[in-house]
Amino acid sequence: MIKVEGIHKSFGKVHAVRGVSFDAPDGKITGLLGPNGAGKSTTLRVLYTVLRPDAGRATIDGADVVTQGLDARRRIGALPHGAGLYPHLTARENVAYYARLCGIDAASIDERVEDIIGLLEIGGFADRRTKGFSQGQRTKVALARSLVHDPQNIILDEPSNGLDVMATRSLRDLILKLKDAGRCVLFSSHVMQEVAALCDDICIIANGKVAIDDSADGIRRRTGCDDLEDAFVKAIQMVDPA
Amino acid sequence: MMRTLLTVFRKEVLDNVRDRRTLVSALIMGPLFGPMLFAFMINLSIERSLEDAERVIELPVIGAERAPNLRRYLESRNIDVVDGPADRAAALDAVANGTHDIVLVIPEEFGEQFTKAVPARVEVIADRSNTQADRLARRARTALHAYSGELASIRLSARGVSPLAMRPLNIDDVDVSTPSGRSAILLGMMSYFLIFAMLMGGMYLAIDTTAGERERGSLEPLLALPVTRNQLLLGKVAATCVFMALSLGLSLGSFYVALKFMPLDELGMTPNFGPLTVGAAFLVLAPFILLGAAVMTLVASFTKSYREAQTWLSGVLLAPTLPILIVSILTLRPRLEFMFVPSLSQHLLLVDMVKNKPLDPLHVAISVCSTLLLGGLLTWICARLYRREGLLG
């Protein structure tokens, strides 16, 4: 369960996030939708504690991301945008490194790594060094890495970027599996169709503010647009510019 | 805490052992470059010093037929007289454009002046800016002076004056340097090569800790893990230190082997560089490892990319030479306050070891403590910087 309450974040003169609030409950998929530069990544970075909010607060299962950062991180599996792997390590070693850092006890690491490799279907290339992996392979390994400690909350920043149809589809299946297992999944995207197909809740962000936070049907109703893309554009226009 | 640190450390070691670039710079470049350059320089200076006395040189002479005795004298001193250019103008040209290194001109009036016993003029034409030519010119000049001196003695004796009247002073040089001491001048450079190799060994790891991870995009997911940044940084610095120590050990080993094969005795040098000194040198230099690792990590953490970090760190590689250079130029003797200056204190202690002088325990203690303290302080600053948001770029 992720709660975001009025967070603000500025970089110099740029006020990137201006009072964003939303909830991402367990057992649901929440989509953070918005055009490029809307403040999605900044919001997610605050949630996985690499950025500190200037104001407002956010909690992960009740753990404050600022004051209880370590606790909050224990409950998160994060896939940052463009996450990179260690090219000299095999996919399995990349995953096992994170497993060890997450404190999984030595006896069960191999088993856990094997499980996650199975779940993400990366067994075919698990023992190859990741140098030269395709974007799809890299994303899968990065995802396996961030899920290895079986986190309750999963934060994915534009996970489908650069993926082909097959990879996107298996990513979608995985996200649904995580939802069925009662996890809280929060992911960002700038593709309306992708979010609509997957999310229970959609939070549209523009200019660092929440334009609308509702289900796909709710958004259609409130914007008066049947077509989701039109609804998206209309919702963005509802936010006053910075 | 320790477990995370160890995990990071082990991963960094594995990752870098598989990285050819790191391996080459840590295990080959640093350890071999120094001793090889060193062997080359020492062999060069040995060749030069031998050359001066024994090698037969060729001396183009204009008008050799006017001074047959001088010719015989020069030939007795391993100087082969050969025909020079046609005239003086041609000789000047030939020396200026490098056809000849040196030309001796014996003018037409030589015989007449010689017979009258007035100073007979000879000309040595050489290019002083050319060190090779200058050495030849010096040999020619020395031989001419000696010839002139011998003639003077003969002329004085012929007039019933003792040639000893020409030598009011009898100057003797007494050299108190020991063979080990003489080697210290040349081997003083060794400490810099060792520090250089040590830094090279950890350079790529230091870059990787910040700029490398950032550029690869692996830093952000790493920071999102339930570990503290201190643990990550310390694990990485520890791995950097291990590679630096490895590089230092290998360099000392390769110096040890190289010195065995160098004909240093011919230069009157017997450096004290046995296995025991090698071990002691490692211990004296080891405190610099932490300092070097911290400085490199610190510098790399301010850079925006791998390439930028590489550029800056090449500068860092040169920094430890500065105090060594200043002290060498001013030929300052080891003093207590020098022991507070990292790289300089290690250099001075190493020079003393090679000279086979007993080390002052206080000097060693100050050198070790001050270097370690500074290294610790800089590591702490690195850890502070690793916590800032700007780390992600």
pLDDT in the model for residue B177: 67
- Beta-carbon separation of B14 and A89 below 8 A: yes
**Whether residue A242 has pLDDT greater than 60:** no
Average of pLDDT values for A42-48?
A: 95
User: Which residues 80-109 in chain A show a CB within 8 A of chain B?
Assistant: 80, 82-89, 93, 97-98, 100-103
Q: Is A114 found in the same domain as A8?
A: no
Residue of chain A whose Cα is closest to the Cα of B224: A48
Q: Is B88 found in the same domain as B37?
A: no
Q: Is A212 found in the same domain as A110?
A: no
- Integer angstrom CA distances of residue A7 from A53, A203, B275: 6, 15, 64
Q: Looking at B107, B134, B166, which one is the last position of a domain? A: B166
CB nearest to A83's CB, from B11, B220, B226: B220
Q: Is A168 found in the same domain as A51?
A: yes
Residue B175 lies in a domain: no
- Beta-carbon separation of A76 and B220 below 8 A: no
Q: Which residues of chain A does B16 touch, with a Cβ-Cβ cutoff of 8 Å? A: 88
Q: Cα separation of B38 and B304, whole Å?
A: 36
Average of pLDDT values for A145-168?
A: 91
Q: Is B153 found in the same domain as B36?
A: no
Q: Is A62 found in the same domain as A93?
A: no
Q: Is A164 found in the same domain as A67?
A: yes
Q: Is B200 found in the same domain as B63?
A: no
Q: Is B238 found in the same domain as B339?
A: yes
Q: Is A163 found in the same domain as A87?
A: no
CB nearest to A88's CB, from B4, B19, B389: B19
Residue B173 lies in a domain: no
pLDDT in the model for residue B49: 63
Q: Cα separation of A35 and B279, whole Å?
A: 63
Q: Is A157 found in the same domain as A60?
A: yes
Q: Is A231 found in the same domain as A173?
A: yes
Q: Looking at B135, B166, B197, which one is the last position of a domain? A: B166
Q: Which residues of chain B does A146 touch, with a Cβ-Cβ cutoff of 8 Å? A: 221, 224
Q: Is B18 found in the same domain as B61?
A: no
Q: How many independent structural domains does chain A possess? A: 2
Q: Is A174 found in the same domain as A64?
A: yes
Q: Which residues of B touch A (CB under 8 A)?
A: 3-4, 7-8, 11, 14-16, 18-19, 216-218, 220-228, 389, 392
Please name every residue paired with A189 in a beta bridge, in sequence order, or none if there are none: A33
pLDDT in the model for residue A241: 64
Q: Pick A99 or B1 by higher pLDDT.
A: A99
Shortest distance, CA B220 to any CA of chain A (angstroms): 7
Q: Position of tokens 């003083």?
A: B188
Q: Is the CB of residue B207 less than 8 Å from the CB of residue B236?
A: no
CB nearest to A97's CB, from B3, B11, B389: B11
- Beta-carbon separation of B4 and A101 below 8 A: yes
Instruction: Flag residues of chain B having pLDDT under 50.
Output: none
Q: Is B305 found in the same domain as B239?
A: yes
Residue B201 lies in a domain: yes
- Beta-carbon separation of B8 and A101 below 8 A: yes
Each residue's pLDDT tens digit, B54-89: 678 888 998 888 888 888 888 888 888 888 888 888
Q: Looking at A104, A122, A150, which one is the last position of a domain? A: A150
Q: Is A67 found in the same domain as A143?
A: no
Q: Looking at A150, A174, A190, which one is the last position of a domain? A: A150
Q: Cα separation of B128 and B49, whole Å?
A: 19
Q: Is A87 found in the same domain as A48?
A: no
**CATH, residue A178:** 3.40.50.300
- Integer angstrom CA distances of residue B149 from B57, B59, B64, B154: 22, 20, 20, 9
Q: Is B225 found in the same domain as B97?
A: no
The parent domain of residue A182 ranges over: 1-75+152-242
Residue B64: both structure tokens together: 């050799």
- Beta-carbon separation of A80 and B221 below 8 A: yes
Q: Is B185 found in the same domain as B156?
A: no
Is A222 touching B (CB cutoff 8 A)? no
Q: Is A1 found in the same domain as A62?
A: yes
Q: Is B84 found in the same domain as B27?
A: no
Q: Is B228 found in the same domain as B107?
A: no
Q: Looking at B114, B132, B166, which one is the last position of a domain? A: B166
Give the model's confidence band at A59: pLDDT under 50 very low, under 70 low, under 90 confident, else very high. very high
- Beta-carbon separation of B226 and A89 below 8 A: no
Q: How many independent structural domains does chain B possess? A: 2
Residue B133: both structure tokens together: 């030519």
The parent domain of residue B102 ranges over: 54-166
Each residue's pLDDT tens digit, A72-98: 999 999 999 988 999 999 999 999 999
Residue B356 lies in a domain: yes
Q: Is B111 found in the same domain as B40?
A: no
Shortest distance, CA B209 to any CA of chain A (angstroms): 12
State the number of CA atoms in the 13 A half-sphere of B32 facing the CB.
7
Q: Pick B188 or A59 by higher pLDDT.
A: A59
Residue B174 lies in a domain: no
- Beta-carbon separation of A50 and B227 below 8 A: no
Each residue's pLDDT tens digit, A21-36: 999 999 999 999 998 8
pLDDT in the model for residue B366: 95
Q: Which residues of chain B does A85 touch, with a Cβ-Cβ cutoff of 8 Å? A: 216, 218
Helix axes A135-147, A106-119, angle to 10 degrees: 140
pLDDT in the model for residue B54: 64
pLDDT in the model for residue B40: 80
Each residue's pLDDT tens digit, A117-152: 998 889 999 999 999 999 889 999 999 999 999 999
Please name every residue paired with A202 in a beta bridge, in sequence order, or none if there are none: A31, A214
Please name every residue paired with A2 in a beta bridge, in sequence order, or none if there are none: A24, A60
- Beta-carbon separation of A98 and B225 below 8 A: yes
What pTM did the predictor assign? 0.80
Residue A130: both structure tokens together: 């990741």
pLDDT in the model for residue A193: 82
Q: Pick A185 or B255 by higher pLDDT.
A: A185
| ∠ Cα B216 B219 B225 (to 5°) | 140
Q: Looking at A128, A150, A172, which one is the last position of a domain? A: A150
Q: Is B136 found in the same domain as B40?
A: no
